[in-house]
Amino acid sequence: MSWRDAPRSPDRAPNQVHVPEGARETFPLRRRVLPMDGVAGQAIETARNRLIVTAALFGLCFIALGFRLVDLSLFQGAEVAAHAHRTPAKLAARGDIVDRNGVLLATNLDTASLYADSTRIINAGDAASALVTVLPDLSRADVEAKLSSGKSFIWLKRNLSPRQQWEVNALGLPGLAFQREERRVYPYGSLASHVLGLVDVDNKGLAGVEAYFDEKLADPARVAQPLTLSIDVRVQHVLADELAGAISRFNGIGGAGVVMDVQTGEILAMVSLPDFDPNDPAAVPPETRFNRVSLGVYEMGSTFKTFNTALALETGSATLASRYDASHPLQVGKHLISDSHPQNRVLTVPEIYMYSSNIGSVRMALDAGTAAQQALMNRLGMLRRTSVELPERGMPLVPKPWLEINTMTISFGNGIAVTPLHLATGVSAMVNGGVLLPATLLKSDHAKAPSGMRVVSEKTSESIRRLMRLVVMRGTGKKAEADGYLVGGKTGTAEKTGANGGYAHKSLLSSFVAAFPMTSPRYVVLAMVDEPRPNKDSAGMATGGWVAAPAVGNIIMRIAPMLGVEPVDEKSPVITEAMYVPMQGEGAE
């Protein structure tokens, strides 16, 4: 550092010899009284001027600080305060859902949701530790992170119970507060979960009737009016219970079941297993939300022989007395069609149905013709989605083009994939006098006669009823018998399509579709187990007759009393006459 341009006075310079520390006599401090002139005088003058500049700069700085202070406290305060006190909008109420008897299936509860103003939290760590003692399902680390986030509004836990709210309040932590909310509650838990569906955290329907009727349920004008379903929660429970039992006995991966009123199309019970608890949407595994009844499409197998028999009777190509050769398997191209309960002889139409003969069914279908089969399938609604009130509706897989080979396989329920609900709806039409009533989840107004579409004649329907009863009395469905309730039904055992497109012989879909009482059917019951395995009591079998038929029998035993179906004496002449089927081939048995 040097600056040589300061004015210097030659006569003074020699006196200014620097003397280091200690030589005080020569120190200029003593000369301060002298009037300033020359070098030192000018330097002092410069210093004073520059000191004024410095002082001015400082003055400006301090004034700026003052202005900023006033600006912050008086003019930005309102804005910040408004930001701090924003609260989320109140959630709208949502209508209740009840079953056909007015039992509450879904409702709203006023709950308190806990949030934090993290700016008012004194010690995030302590507060988090205290909170998890009363709300053990929260993660301490997560709560601490939220409490120290600096946000003035952050949710900690939605929908606390009154006890939890009390406990949180008892902690006395500042910065925590509650927001009143309405929480969707399903008192029966997972029962009917696929029917009801579920809602998201903001009570918007995500699945089931919650989603299908979301607009209606959320409409403030209609909140007071509950949505009445056709479901009977008692029947729903029986169906779920028996189906779960069958799945567990045969180690199945899932199951589907329907109970349907054949006179109205109302679904009294609809069960898809595994199911889920809609009360805790976050914990629902996505795969459990799959509705096997209304969304899953399957080749239903021999239960379709009901339609095939109706087709033959309706077109007149066969009567109950007609005979078909089932003595040896049918070679169709490279496929060999054989029977699983082979009788190796000529069978009558009732025998073909009773023994579930594929060979006989194919021959019947070929007699009736492709066009007639296609037309009946179309009338039965097998070629389009059902109109049930759910977002989850499966589209059937239908052969295109519909060739003779398709006619042959469809006769025994292969080559066409429909939902179990399609099947139940179709069988309802078969037994109710021949009128197809679309399946519905809404309770019908019984004053109004349900408007159905005739699909087969009253006479054909009457014959089908006798044939279905025959199956349970003497055929593949004996295990579905429920004493006094005149159960009729049909087994179905389909091989599931494997990964390579062919049939996986060990992966079965075993079902049983039944109706009761067969003299005047009121309800159709369908039970289906996905991939059952033979167990030690089933003689190596995992067919519909072994797996699903007993479940259906149990279901009918349990629901018939609830539904007001009175048992009858099956041996009475009136009944035996009504259920009589001429069996020309009986001697061969």
Vertex 264: Cα angle to 258 and 265 (nearest 5): 35
Structure tokens at 264: 């109205």
Question: Do residues 437 and 452 touch, judged by C-beta distance below 8 A?
Answer: yes
Assess 588 for contact with other proteins (CB under 8 A). Answer: no
Instruction: State in angstroms the smallest separation of the CB of 53 from other proteins.
Output: 8
> In the set 37, 110, 122, 141, which binds other proteins (CB under 8 A)?
122
Q: Is 76 a binder of other proteins (CB under 8 A)?
A: yes
Smallest gap, in angstroms, from Cβ of residue 142 to other proteins? 19
Nearer to other proteins, 77 or 582 (CB): 77
Chosen residue from 80, 371, 453, 562 binding other proteins by CB under 8 A: 80
Which of the ranges 22-30, 178-186, 299-307, 308-316 carries the binding residues for other proteins, by CB under 8 A?
Answer: 22-30
- Given candidates 85, 101, 119, 345, which one binds other proteins under the rule CB under 8 A? 119
Which among 113, 190, 294, 302 is annotated as catalytic? 302
Q: Phi-psi category of 370—alpha, beta or left, where left has phi over 0 and alpha has psi -120 to 50?
A: alpha
SS (H, E, C) 104-146: EEEEEEEEEEEEECHHHCCCHHHHHHHHHHHCCCCCHHHHHHH
Which span (10-18, 164-172, 308-316, 498-506) binds other proteins, by CB under 8 A? 10-18
Q: Which residues ranging from 56 to 75 are in contact with other proteins (CB under 8 A)?
A: 58-59, 61-62, 64-66, 68-70, 72-74
Q: Nearer Cβ to other proteins, position 69 or 574?
A: 69
Token pair belonging to 552: 């259906």
The smaller minimum CB distance to other proteins, of residues 80 and 504, is found at 80
Compute the least distance from the CB of residue 202 to other proteins, in Å: 28
* Residue closer to other proteins, measured from CB, 59 or 162: 59
User: Structure tokens of 159?
Assistant: 């929908």
Q: Which of 11, 23, 24, 137 binds other proteins (CB under 8 A)?
A: 24
How many Cα atoms within 13 Å fall on the side-chain side of residue 410?
A: 32
Residue 194: phi and psi, rounded to 5, are -75, -25
For residue 34, give the 3-state DSSP assignment: coil
Q: Which of 37, 44, 248, 498 binds other proteins (CB under 8 A)?
A: 44
**Does position 189 bind other proteins by CB under 8 A?**
no
- Taking the C-alpha atoms of residue 263 and residue 523, their distance in angstroms, rounded to an integer, is 8
Smallest gap, in angstroms, from Cβ of residue 233 to other proteins? 52
CA angle 254, 257, 261 (to 5 degrees): 170
Residue 262 and residue 428 in contact, taking contact as beta carbons nearer than 8 Å? yes
The residue (of 18 and 448) whose beta carbon lies closer to other proteins is 18
Look up residue 128 and give its two tokens.
């988090």
49 or 133: CB nearest other proteins: 49
**Nearest 5°: phi and psi at 513?**
-115, 130
In angstroms, what is the C-alpha Rg of the chain? 42
In total, the chain counts a number of residues equal to 589
> Residue type at 337?
I
123 touches other proteins by CB under 8 A: yes
109 lies in the binding site for other proteins (CB under 8 A)? no
- Block residue for tokens 């969304």: 295
Active site residue 302: yes
- Which phi and psi (to 5°) does residue 527 adopt? -130, 140
* Percent helix, strand and coil across the chain, each to the nearest 5: 40, 20, 40
Q: Which of residues 81-100 bind other proteins (CB under 8 A)?
A: 81
Tell me how far the alpha carbon of residue 81 is from its chain's centroid.
43
Residue 133 CB, shortest distance to other proteins, in Å, is 21
* Interaction between residue 171 and other proteins (CB under 8 A): no
Task: Provide, rounded to whole angstroms, the least separation between the CB of residue 217 and other proteins.
Answer: 41
Q: Which of residues 130-149 bind other proteins (CB under 8 A)?
A: none
3-class DSSP state of 557:
helix
- Chosen residue from 23, 25, 37, 40 binding other proteins by CB under 8 A: 40
Instruction: Please select the residue that binds other proteins; options are 11, 23, 25, 32, rule is CB under 8 A.
Output: 32
Tokens of residue 447, six digits: 């004053």
Token pair in block for residue 404:
């003779």
Question: What amino acid positions are annotated as catalytic residues?
Answer: 302
What is the binding site for other proteins (CB under 8 A)? Answer: 1-6, 8, 13, 16-18, 21, 24, 27-29, 32-33, 36, 39-40, 43-44, 46-48, 50-52, 54-55, 58-59, 61-62, 64-66, 68-70, 72-74, 76-77, 80-81, 119-120, 122-123, 150
